Amino acid sequence: MNAKNILVVEDEASIAEVVSLYLKRAGFAVQIASDGKQAMGMIERQMPDFVVLDLMLPEVDGLSLTRWLRDRSNVPIIMLTARREEIDRIAGLEMGADDYVVKPFSPQELVSRVRAVMRRLGREQDAAENERPLSFDGLSIDPKSRVVTVKGSPVELTVKEFDMLYLLARHPKQVFTREQLLERIWGGALYIDPSTVTVHVRRLREKIEEDASKPARLLTVWGVGYKFEP
């Protein structure tokens, strides 16, 4: 997977540098714009995956830039603000920024906020996708009614079995590790044993596969995890 590309718009070079350093260390690709106008040029060339935006900027200020960005894109935005800029902060959020961090801040806190916004937006996207019914040869999955049919006959799945089948089927041929499935289906709960995943896959196979001992849908990728074969 390519690193997420973050644009940092900040006129104070020392802040821009330390923020950039921490974000790079956290695995992101970072570009810096030192004023609003430069940021617009960079965004027009290529939309970043995330924007960290100082409110007080020369040329085009942070609020105008937020408004300009929102006319074009839903790219996540975190604003950097000084404590005295509270009114602007509220305006920024109303204009569609996703979160803000008040200066002075620790760079590590900013990294955590960036990750939190990414997680939150990722979940919202997943939730939107959750509405989409899926249909394969002899297997249909309807997330709204949570009904699964095999060759036209409904099968009863537990909540977790359904969630796992739907997650795998929504990403055909993509391999999920046990850890990823635990994270996505059980929310990474520490008390859940990784073998729980194995047990659920086995039960799912008994319910949806023609021959559970020779699965054609839920395939084991040895040493890695599981994938759905459409």
Site residues (CB under 5 A) for Ca ion?
Answer: 11, 54, 56
- Find out whether 94 and 79 touch, Cβ atoms under 8 Å: no
Query: Which residue, 54 or 163, has its beta carbon nearer to Ca ion?
Result: 54
CB of 222 to Ca ion, least distance (A): 53
Query: Which residue, 11 or 59, has its beta carbon nearer to Ca ion?
Result: 11
CB of 99 to Ca ion, least distance (A): 18
For Ca ion, the nearest residue by Cβ is 56
Contacts of 203 (CB under 8 A, 6+ apart): 158, 161
Helix (H, G, I), strand (E, B) or coil at 69: helix
Peptide bond into 104 cis (omega under 30): yes
For the chain, strand residue ranges (E) read 5-9, 29-33, 50-54, 77-82, 99-103, 134-136, 139-142, 147-150, 153-155, 176-177, 218-221, 225-228
Query: Which residue, 56 or 150, has its beta carbon nearer to Ca ion?
Result: 56
Residue 124, amino acid: E
Local structure of residue 223 (DSSP, 8 states)? T
CB of 10 to Ca ion, least distance (A): 6
Query: Which residue, 56 or 117, has its beta carbon nearer to Ca ion?
Result: 56
Query: Which residue, 56 or 93, has its beta carbon nearer to Ca ion?
Result: 56
CA angle 130, 131, 132 (to 5 degrees): 95
Sheet holding 77-82, edge to edge: 29-33, 5-9, 50-54, 77-82, 99-103
CB of 105 to Ca ion, least distance (A): 13
CB of 15 to Ca ion, least distance (A): 8
